[in-house]
Amino acid sequence: MKKKRKMNPKNNNGLGAHFTTGLGTRFEVWAPRATSVEVKLYGTKAKPFSVKRSIVLTAEAGDRYTTVVSDVGAGDRYTYVLNGKGEFPDPASRFQPQGVHGPSQIVRSDFEWSDFSWKGMDPREIVFYECHIGTFTAEGTFVSAESRLSHLKELGVTAIEVMPVAQFPGARNWGYDGVYPFAVQNSYGGPEGFKHFINACHEAGIAVYLDVVYNHLGPEGNYLAQFGDYFTQRYKTPWGSAINFDGPGSDEVRRFFLSNARQWLEEFRIDGLRLDAVHAICDFSAFPFLEELGSMKSKLELELGRSFQLVAETDLNDSRLIRHQGIDAQWADDFHHALHTLLTGEARGYYQDFGSLDCLKKVYSQGVVFDGSWSGFRNSTHGRPYDGLERRRLVVCSQNHDQIGNRFLGDRLAASLSVEKLKLAAACVMLSPFTPLLFMGEEWGEKAPFSYFIDHSDPDLLEAVRKGRAQEFSSFGWTGSALDPASEEVFSRCKIDWKTLAGSNSETTSRALFEFYKKLIFLSKWIRRGGLLEEGHVQVKVGQSGRSLELVSDVAPSYLRCFFSFNDAPEEITYSGPNLEILLDSGGAKSENQFQLRPWSVLVLGSGGPDFGGDKK
């Protein structure tokens, strides 16, 4: 029986309601816009909740208000009254059991962990699996997601990237409309359920990364502006006013989000954070928030004896994030766009800058297509070079929540591409020098869409979202009646169908694709452990037909050649050199040193490769 130990993480910021056995609960809130603050205390299970009493908080330095209540503990609920008005949830609430408009609940920060043998995951071993808890299973909870860990283990996934879990309005949302950064979504299972899920992942040998949103908060249930200067009118983002990271009062705002990051890394034992759209974090200070976050992470690593990773999403192709701001890795959209256009032929919107095999060749060689070069879509030069950076610091995919969900019908590649093209797409990702990311269900060709969905209660807000989506679709030339993001039916259709794989056998397409992914991931790990595709060790060539790509690596004692066909016709390959074996083949070998690369296929040749048990298909 595994030993369990409770952890009592430090609270480096103090904001929120913090319960200590034998001492009661300490309340602390930053409220520079208030001259008086009261905490209203409610019963634990009374329905409706009746106010037990109201207590005035003491003003402290730095516009903070505090009090300690000895007879209030975990399970009790509360709200704040500012200047005698309103009943607002705590901006640093740890749990919102009644949603974004209800009272906050005091929770215990300790947890009986049994994952203390977990030492983290070597970044060179990472295979990301992006997962949306609400649609990953029929139930849409942490508990039900936990039941699928054996599947991910068999697949070869080493890290789950969980889409945002901060409390959002209603019961269905992508997670980017969260308004309580510290609170775990109630419909998923709350903070206790999330910790249990993380603990189970670690026991299964799988790291957990969490998608966090520090560039904006959602519109519904967002009461932070009632308390302090959390937002600024100096900048505008696609979601409205920017978070105040560099103006008056910004020290406390930065501390708020730094404390949030620390909560996930320390208290929840998360292995890394995926930072949403950092290009929308408006900060022109001498010590930018992202750099301060990177510094905090490094100090926490020394303090806890664990390593953490910060992975940024950005559309700027800005290598300075990694070189100078403490970011460990970033999403690389150029790879996706270069691959997607070759597979689908789409050429509208931002896809207009891609579509040639030379684009994919440059991505494999340079990391990005736009490294200070001209972008027709942007009508300007774009990006910076990534020379000298380890290629594993770029995270690539053929599909993710954005690239699927921001399509008119939320359609996946499997909805329109052949199995041959799906295998080719997977191989281009997994056999790249970059860190690969899969989107849930792609490993068996899941066809369920992943549309944008919300559960707002304000009709005007719903209509604004519908109009905004229609405007986004127009740049791609998509017309017609768009799916209603507020429809529960639209949300339900996004749940992946595990029966597709469970009811299949070795002869079915879904099972065959799943087995191909397993072998591909196994091969990818072997290649990366040997450093075969690291910068300086790989050559990228366009085949004689002009419709195939070849990666060549020679790192003694291993030798590797990967062929990717984007050709509608077969292509003959004559090879002379070291005696190589077929490591993976989705197309069909012809003879010892002469091969036929079939249309839309992948062929991998190598020496000293991993043992697949004789099956290379």
What amino acid occupies position 525? K
Tokens of 3: 């030993």
**Distance between CA atoms of 6 and 2, rounded to whole angstroms?**
13
The kind and range of the H/E element at 553 are strand 548-555
3-state secondary structure of 95: coil
Query: What amino acid occupies position 314?
Result: T
- Residue 205's DSSP bridge partners are none
Answer whether the bond into residue 103 is a cis peptide, omega within 30°: no
Helix/strand/coil for 563: strand
Instruction: Catalogue the long-range contacts made by 360-365 (C-beta closer than 8 Å, 24 or more residues apart).
Output: 360/335, 360/428, 360/549, 361/540, 361/541, 361/542, 361/549, 362/338, 363/332, 363/334, 363/335, 363/338, 364/432, 364/433, 364/538, 364/540, 364/549, 364/551, 365/540
CB 259 within 8 A of CB 15: yes
Which amino acid, 151? H
Q: Going by C-beta distance under 8 Å and a sequence separation of 6 or more, which residues neighbour residue 157?
A: 127, 128, 129, 206, 438, 521
- Of residues 111, 217, 199, 105, the one with CA closest to residue 160: 199
- The catalytic residue among 177, 220, 271, 276 is 276
Instruction: Out of 313, 318, 328, 585, pick the active-site residue.
Output: 313
DSSP state of 520: H
Q: H-helix or E-strand containing 261?
A: helix 250-262
Residue 159 phi/psi, 5-degree rounding, is -150, 125
Asked whether the beta carbons of 318 and 384 are under 8 A apart, the reply is yes
Residue pair 161/129 in contact (Cβ under 8 Å)? The answer is yes
What SS3 class is residue 290?
helix
- Tell me whether residue 333 is one of the annotated catalytic residues: no
| Measured CA distances, 576 to 502, 579, 580, 594, 595 (Å) | 44, 8, 10, 9, 11
Question: Which of 441, 455, 426 is closest to 495 using CA atoms?
Answer: 441
276 in active site: yes
The residues annotated as belonging to the active site are 276, 313
